[in-house]
Amino acid sequence: MAQDRFADRHLGIAPDDLRPMLETIGVGSVEELISQVIPASIRLRKPLDLPEGMTEYEFAAHIRALAGRNRQLRSFIGMGYYPTATPAVIARNVFENPSWYTSYTPYQAEISQGRLEALLNFQTAVISLTGMEIANCSLLDEATATAEAMLMMYALRSREAVKEGRNILFVDENIFPQTFDLLLTRSEPYGIEIVRDDFSTYEFSGREFGAVVQYPAANGAVNDYDDFTAAAHARGVLVAAACDPMALVLLKAPGEWGADIAVGSTQRFGLPMGFGGPHAGFMATREAFKRNMPGRIIGVSVDRLGNKALRMALQMREQHIKREKATSNICTAQALMATMSGFYAVYHGAEGLRRIAEHIHTHAAAVAAALREMGFRLASELFFDTLEVEAEAAVVQQAALERGINFFYPDENRVRMSFDEVTTGEEVLQVVAVFAEAAGRKAPRSVKVPQQAALPANLVRRSPILTEPVFRLYRNETDMMRYIKRLEHRDISLADSMISLGSCTMKLNAAAMMMPLSLAGFGNMHPFVPRDQAEGYLEMIRELEHDLAVITGFAATSLQPNSGAAGEYSGLMVIRAWHQSRGQGHRNVVLIPASAHGTNPASAAMAGMKIVVVACDGHGNIDVEDLRAKAAEHASELAGIMVTYPSTHGVFESRIREIVDIIHDAGGQVYMDGANMNAQVGLTNPGYIGADVCHLNLHKTFGMPHGGGGPGVGPICVAKHLAPFLPSHPVVETGGREGITAVAGAPYGSAMLLPITYGYIKMLGEKGLRAATETAILNANYMSCALKDEYRTYYTGENGRVGHEMILDLQHFRKDYGVECADVARRLMDYGFHAPTLSFPVHDTFMVEPTESEPKAEMDRFIEAMISIKRECEAIAAAGEEQKADNLLVNAPHTAPEIASDGWAHPYSRMQAAFPLRWVKESKFFPYVSKIDGGYGDRNLCCTCASLHEEE
């Protein structure tokens, strides 16, 4: 019986649309086009060894069965991951809502005001809880955020400290093991020496630049770091605190006891454990350090009409813009998760968070009292949520498993447990019963709750939290639902229209792939559970690692890197480890084309590499002769090359195999950036081309959503000789036998997202994956040809074709029309479109990528909009001086209040401004604010939400 094929739903081109598209391009078939786009020498000779695609119904049954194989025992493991209660109003209206999870990073602020306000709420909550002056709107996880703090402190060294060679980072011994592993990973390429010791007895030597402590400590102890911090500051040492934000509801803020940087994770603020992620990491610091802070900061500015407007402030801190001078390669945030955590803080407010924090602490204190009564010794009598008990671990574990309970076991004589917001009185009795059995005693029928909190009196929080109006306004579900919807309607997402961002691949995030994320079998799993409790997850991970290796032509995969930039870094660190294993650790030169995305040189710098830039020719290809000369010049120290394929200019370079051979002949390795894999899958692959390692942006090629700027996942695939060096983990066995230390806090990175890519591959199958690539290339060439009389395609291949994206030339618009490229981008908002990638990789151009998911009708609307805007530009030029300062483009975008105002004085009509084409009326999106004054926002930096609700 015939069933729907997933590919027919995922691919946007209907059979009747194919012929007119091919005619516009000037070819007789898709195969003829592909033969003109991809060099014959790198075309795969046989199909990928993957099965046929499942139907959506078959996949739904299959993924539910896998989720069911994950045994959901009650987790008290803690260690940075805790069961939470995600409010249903947030789960339904944000986590499961394509308007939130399909939106892009808010670079185009005028059509991102809802997301920006949600992220501003997150920032405000972090600033309030940490007692700091400025925060970013999320990092990847707590462990990587701590590593970022280390490098930030290193970059903040005074000239004298640099001259003195201060390179020691003190790390307190009582820190999460995954965090310490990340510090080892990131420190080694910089030559940073880590000293791990007891903060209470450590004496500074004068060679330290920074110190890291955990608050509360990994064993649960709430330590007083006042004297330690004072001693550090007296020696010119900065202090970073890795914090639990839920504990900070009851504890003195780190900013109040002298910490310079606070980092952590907001996983406890309503985010599922998800076998390790994604979760929103955070960083907060003092305003004096704001320009050294990695990640994004949301700031309050004003628009053209004087209204408050939000934007990403101080954008030079997106450090990949600094390229090889970067001190971080952060590009992806965890925006969707930060949004959810921000809404969690809004919904509960200060009094709700205090109630939750006291609930957690009270249950921990009750268990502590019962354990003491039975004669057990605790590592600390002062704690928030975590108890470490001296006990025979094997005996306790057996008794705990019989009751369906997981604890953490640091060694054979210690048991650690953490309580959470969903802990019940009955569970407290079960926990106590476990230890009673281990001690050979009768379990008590009830447990008394101590009247006295187990917190140090001098560390109890006195300062208020979340005092801004937004944290008081939305207590009932009706109000909260409407607030979320109000913000949702201020943004453009894929739920509204095509987002044709070149290099960013904003493709369909199919509902069939997204729905498994809501299954408890995936969401409720702690990343450190015994392997026999996670059989469903581990089977999916094994199959996904295999499938990605097949697709890329490699031997092995690591899913640990939790962003594309983290994947770049991981791939380079694996290459570095391979060279070191062969006694060639001196190889540290990486060749990078001038056209490369800025994360490439930033990642190389973080991996301790010396960057040598390779020129591009007039067609945007790598200058092979320049490459050959530089490879020869640096042959004795060449580590490898970072190359994007198809190139960043959207072209399949025909000499790619020659490039690979040049590098290999000089003793280097070839790292292929997987940003453009959407043009390769099923037709060619990095392994077949000859590369040694690639990373994959699962949110670009394999159907994972962007989530307003994250989460991203960046697994790496490697050739056989590099497989032994894949990332390991200090708690869970994973990676290669000689694996580098961890690159993310969780062993499999953001594992809860993996069902998305798993489903994408399983439902498309071999034929569907190849068809998706062919359709992406078809759509890009159709748009390029359809616009050729109006916009020149800046670079094409030898046959005049593009890959899956193109660069449209707007460089003459300023001279010919007096219009900036950014004005055209904002004018597209009036037509209901998110603009393409602006001025990358060539200044004053649009990089356009339609993907395989868009129907011809939507592409035709975009084409018509681009042509209409050009006519508007021509009319401005014809009007002369009178319209130079007041025209459709310079004033774009136009808001509904402006269109409806009584004081319209522009030389064009309201209809021209708001409804420039007939179809715009059918589904009009009104930007919430007009053109934003970015300079004002930077000069008057305000990064909390206090001023947004002054009138309420």
pLDDT score for 594: 87
DSSP, collapsed to helix, strand or coil, labels residue 854 as coil
pLDDT score for 319: 54
Instruction: State which H helix or E strand residue 414 sits in.
Output: strand 414-418
pLDDT score for 950: 54
Q: Average pLDDT for residues 339-362, to the nearest whole number?
A: 98
Instruction: State which H helix or E strand residue 390 sits in.
Output: strand 386-390
Digit-coded pLDDT (tens) for 650-705:
899 999 999 999 999 999 999 999 999 999 999 999 999 999 999 999 999 999 99
Exposure letters 313-349 (e unless 16+ CB within 10 A, then b): bbeebbbbebbbebbbbbbbbbbbbbbbbbbbbbbbb
On whether the CB atoms of residues 929 and 309 are closer than 8 A, the answer is yes
Checking if the pLDDT of 947 tops 90, the result is no
Q: How far apart are CA 632 and CA 648, in angstroms?
A: 24
Percentages of the chain per state (helix, strand, coil), in multiples of 5: 45, 15, 40
On whether the CB atoms of residues 279 and 270 are closer than 8 A, the answer is no
Digit-coded pLDDT (tens) for 540-585:
999 999 999 999 999 999 999 999 999 999 999 999 999 999 999 9
Q: How far apart are CA 332 and CA 918, in angstroms?
A: 37
Q: Average pLDDT for residues 282-288, to the nearest whole number?
A: 96
Checking if the pLDDT of 1 tops 60, the result is no
Checking if the pLDDT of 164 tops 70, the result is yes
On whether the CB atoms of residues 673 and 602 are closer than 8 A, the answer is no
DSSP, collapsed to helix, strand or coil, labels residue 870 as helix
Planar angle of CA 181, 342, 80, nearest 5 degrees: 25
Left, alpha or beta for 314 (phi > 0: left; psi -120 to 50: alpha)? Answer: left
Q: What percentage of the chain exceeds 70 in pLDDT? A: 98
- Total-model pTM: 0.97
Tell me the two tokens of residue 120: 């501003």
Tell me the two tokens of residue 192: 């940073």
Which amino acid is present at 656? I
Residue 316's pLDDT band (cuts 50, 70, 90):
very low
Residue 951's pLDDT band (cuts 50, 70, 90):
very low
Q: How far apart are CA 703 and CA 696, in angstroms?
A: 12
Digit-coded pLDDT (tens) for 738-770:
999 999 999 999 999 999 999 999 999 999 999
Digit-coded pLDDT (tens) for 859-911:
999 999 999 999 999 999 999 887 889 999 999 999 999 999 999 999 999 99
DSSP, collapsed to helix, strand or coil, labels residue 119 as helix
Q: What is the dihedral of CA 763, 766, 767, 773, to 10 degrees?
A: 90
pLDDT score for 943: 82
HSE-CB of 533 using CA atoms within 13 angstroms: 18
Q: Which residues is 948 bridged to in the sheet?
A: none
pLDDT score for 881: 81
Q: What is the dihedral of CA 193, 196, 198, 202, to 10 degrees?
A: -20
Q: Average pLDDT for residues 454-483, to the nearest whole number?
A: 96
pLDDT score for 320: 56
Planar angle of CA 927, 930, 936, nearest 5 degrees: 135
pLDDT score for 806: 96
Digit-coded pLDDT (tens) for 206-245:
999 999 999 999 999 999 999 999 999 999 999 999 999 9
Q: How far apart are CA 393 and CA 379, in angstroms?
A: 15
pLDDT score for 595: 82
* CA dist list (Å): 318 to 90, 321, 601, 602, 611: 29, 6, 13, 11, 19
Q: Average pLDDT for residues 346-374, to the nearest whole number?
A: 97
Left, alpha or beta for 945 (phi > 0: left; psi -120 to 50: alpha)? Answer: alpha
Planar angle of CA 747, 732, 215, nearest 5 degrees: 75
Question: What's the chain's Rg over C-alpha atoms?
Answer: 28
Which amino acid is present at 535? E
Residue 322's pLDDT band (cuts 50, 70, 90):
low
* CA dist list (Å): 276 to 97, 895, 896: 22, 42, 43
DSSP, collapsed to helix, strand or coil, labels residue 169 as strand
On whether the CB atoms of residues 876 and 883 are closer than 8 A, the answer is yes
Q: How far apart are CA 884 and CA 639, in angstroms?
A: 52
Q: How far apart are CA 888 and CA 827, in angstroms?
A: 7
Please state, as a whole number, how many other Cβ atoms lie within 10 Å of the Cβ of residue 478.
10
CA proximity to 717, closest of 685, 680, 747: 685
Q: What is the dihedral of CA 208, 210, 212, 213, to 10 degrees?
A: 80
On whether the CB atoms of residues 731 and 737 are closer than 8 A, the answer is no
Listed in sequence order, the residues at least 6 apart from 874 whose beta carbon sits closer than 8 Å to its beta carbon are: 817
Q: Which residues is 282 bridged to in the sheet?
A: 264
Listed in sequence order, the residues at least 6 apart from 98 whose beta carbon sits closer than 8 Å to its beta carbon are: 493, 494, 495, 509, 511, 514, 705
